[in-house]
Amino acid sequence: MAGGSAINRKPLGNTEIQIPEIGLGTWSYHGGIEPLRRGLDAGALFIDTAESYGGAEEIIKDAITGMRDRVFLASKVSSHHLHHNDLKKAAEGSLNRLGVSHIDLYQIHQPNPAIPMAETIGAMEQLVDEGKICYIGVSNFNLEQLKEARVVARKYPIVANQVRYNLADRTIEDGLLQYCQENNITVIAYSPLAREMSRLYDCDPNEVLTQIAKETGRTVAQIAINWCLCKDGVVAIPKGNSVDHVLENCAASGWRLSEEYRALLDNQIQSRRRGRLDKMLRNYMPASVVPLAKQCLTLLPRGIRRRLS
């Protein structure tokens, strides 16, 4: 496995603190404590979770035992808990499950148009005043939603927006990424390896990823993650359910792809951008249908899979 130097750090928004540019994602995580501990030991001292991630918060509680003061801890409140009292209760629940006195970055998991943004942000700001969270972030916010959140954030800034971003899905490059960079809002890239590596390969008919990996002595996963990290103001939170995968992901930091390799990836990887209809279908698709949809997708030709994945 290709090695790497220590994990670099980047500023969190316009704050004075620096966070690791590679963190540990825990959506659909089932690796237990050991991979998280090894990732922390490797320098990925940034764990992202959410109240909706099953028992992930309880696992993290055990993983950070004895090193809480070194770990940047982020969690998220679900979109159906965005009324003032519900949000305060949700935060208390996460604090208890994580076994901590405060959460470093608390994020709105997804906007809810049925609940006033001002009410939600007001509750978040109250949590900052109470010392239960340090910074306010959002997740899955488009450009208009992010602008609205910033307008109603009267006391504390929005420091981060956690969104899907990878070589195969560059939707945020249609204005959102530039806006975040211009306004010192950190982009936390989830699914930097797409939801499955096969989706990256579907978008790489000329096998450019494999070529660059061989020429640089890195792995394909490290190339894909590093491409994200080359963007100003972008950090990534890949998930690894095994020690090997976590350490491989961590080794995507400490170096940078050359401009030539970045240009090759930009030009050769057949990326896509999600439209409003695409997002609506994904948001409202019943959970029971998702496994069948994924299974059907694997049976389609590569070109069609790329457009639908």
List the domain boundaries for the chain. Answer: 9-272, 275-309
Beta-bridge mates of residue 136 = 106, 158
Give how far Cα 203 sits from Cα of 196, 278, 299, Å: 12, 18, 16
Q: Is 83 exposed, middle or buried (0-12, 13-18, 19+ CB in 10 A)?
A: middle
Class of CATH domain 9-272: alpha beta
The whole-angstrom distance between residue 69's C-alpha and the CA centroid of its chain comes to: 22
Task: Average the pLDDT over 192-200 and give the result.
Answer: 94
Q: What does the block give as tokens for 28?
A: 């659909």
Say whether pLDDT at 304 is over 70: no
Predicted pLDDT at 272: 76
Say whether pLDDT at 289 is over 90: no
H or E stretch covering 188: strand 186-190
H or E stretch covering 137: strand 133-139
Which region among 140-154, 214-228, 263-277, 278-292 has the lowest average model confidence (pLDDT)?
278-292
Alpha helices (runs of H) in 14-142, residue ranges in sequence order: 33-41, 56-63, 84-98, 117-129
**Contact by Cβ (8 Å): 241, 31:** yes
Task: Average the pLDDT over 242-248 and give the result.
Answer: 98
Q: In whole angstroms, what is the distance from residue 116 CA to residue 285 CA?
A: 24
Task: Average the pLDDT over 4-33 and give the result.
Answer: 94
What is the tens place of the pLDDT at every residue in 85-128?
A: 999 999 999 999 999 999 999 999 999 999 999 999 999 999 99
What is the tens place of the pLDDT at every residue in 65-92?
A: 999 999 999 999 999 999 999 999 999 9
Task: Average the pLDDT over 141-155 and give the result.
Answer: 98
Task: Average the pLDDT over 181-206 and give the result.
Answer: 96
Predicted pLDDT at 6: 86
Predicted pLDDT at 274: 60
Q: In whole angstroms, what is the distance from residue 223 CA to residue 192 CA?
A: 10
